[in-house]
Amino acid sequence: MRTLFPALTADGPVYLDSAATTQKPLPVIDAVTDYHRHHTANSGRGTYSWATTLTTAVEQIRVDTAHFLGAHAHEVVFTGGATAALNAVALGWGLTALTDGDEILYSPRDHASNVHPWLRLRDTLAHFGRHIRLIPYRTTALGEADLTDIAAKIGPRTRLLTLSHLHHVYGALSTPQQSAELLPERALLCLDCTQSAGHLPIDVRALGADFAVLAAHKMFGSPGTGVLFCHERIHDQLGPFLPGGNSAVHVQDSALVPDHMPHRMEGGTHNLPGILALGAALRMLRDIGTDRIADHNRILTRRLVDGMRDLPGLRILPGPAHASDGAGYGIVSFTLDAITATDLGFVLAELGLLVRTGAHCVPTTPHPAPGESDSVRVSTHAYTTTEEIDRFLDCLTTIATEVR
């Protein structure tokens, strides 16, 4: 399988930054180049064969995406990425559905893409005299969403709970289905699945999601493509997102009236090479099996944690390293005394080990938790080998000993 990833050569660097973006397999690369090289056209527009064939392909990928998520095809919206998908929830749902005094529960330690849209929504609504409250909830010592704190903060005006299924820094898996059971009837659950999609089997109905977002580039696909799942039970609450050409709306008495889903949320020209690449990525994930990928990442994570645990001056951030159940999801973040994460990342890169450093897109807070503003993140995927983990651990051991 590894031979399908042309960037991963035997004499090249060790790529340990899959949580930022995954490497691309040949079928995905071919899907992008074939679109540009052969029969370039637009979908949903022309009646000639190039266009109609492409339209059929896009809708088949929508069906495949729905199957991947345990959803229906009309619940799958293609977006410009996970960030665009979360903003679609804020603008396509929140802008019209929320009223004065409503509340949104969120985690300030989630990715900025699952924080900033809600801040912007609050400020936008305030301009029109509707004041909503953003209520932060805590994470546990393991890096999971704190269900006890969430339960204590849910009230009769709670309209949305948004959380990360798999945290992008801590590598901790939350249990959204338990959170969904706590919510009042009118409240919705929005899941950021950008790290779990392609790493774990996902069933949005079993998770209790009303909204769920994916980023194609984190699951073998190409950048600039995302997926927004919208449960059919809330379609009547959704206004058009990016209204314009190709969006399913019509004008009645000089007003926009939304038509059928999912095209109501898909104004403008699709990222067609990206959607075709997503289709190829989904086929590859199906052939490998996300359950097998999950098992592989668990083995790599435990090997990584066990090798890091006793290194002098090294502190592992919350996550599976602090759990007793042997879990692991392919993400481990840490700090090392006497050297900044940025400098450590530079040294590791010079040794041929590519990792992520910095704040990892966690919004700046007045009192950040230790390691929150500057840490090293190691992340794996199906193409990562145990030999590469051992090479990383050997280098890290040498560095930790020397800086001590």
Give backbone dihedrals phi and psi of 149, rounded to 5 degrees, phi first: -70, -40
The DSSP code for 362 is: P
Catalytic residue selected from 190, 193, 230, 361 = 361
CA–CA gap between residue 346 and residue 357 (Å, rounded): 9
Residue whose token pair is 């075709």: 276
Please give the C-alpha separations between residue 189 and each of 94, 207, 374, in angstroms, as whole numbers. Answer: 13, 9, 30
Please tell me the distance from the alpha carbon of residue 201 to that of residue 390, in angstroms, as a whole number.
Answer: 27
- Cis preceding-peptide flag for 368 (omega within 30 of 0): no
CA 79, distance to chain mean position in Å, is: 13
SS3 at position 143: coil
Instruction: Identify the residue whose tokens are 């809708």.
Output: 59
Q: Measure the CA angle with vertex 248, ends 32 and 185; round to 5°.
A: 105
Q: From its phi and psi, is residue 94 left (phi > 0), alpha (psi between -120 and 50) or beta?
A: alpha
Decide: 316 and 339 in contact? Cβ < 8 Å: no
DSSP assigned state of 81: S
193 is catalytic: no
State the virtual CA torsion across 227, 228, 230, 236 in degrees, nearest 10: -120
Contact 13, 353 (CB under 8 A): yes
Please give the structure tokens belonging to residue 93: 């749902």
3-state SS track over 258-280: ECCCCHHHCCCCCCHHHHHHHHH
Q: Are the C-beta atoms of 68 and 285 separated by less than 8 Å?
A: yes
Burial class (CB in 10 A: 0-12, 13-18, 19+), 397: middle
Q: Which two tokens stand for residue 19?
A: 């949580």
Cα angle for residues 336, 368, 312 (degrees, 5° grid):
15
Active site residues: 361
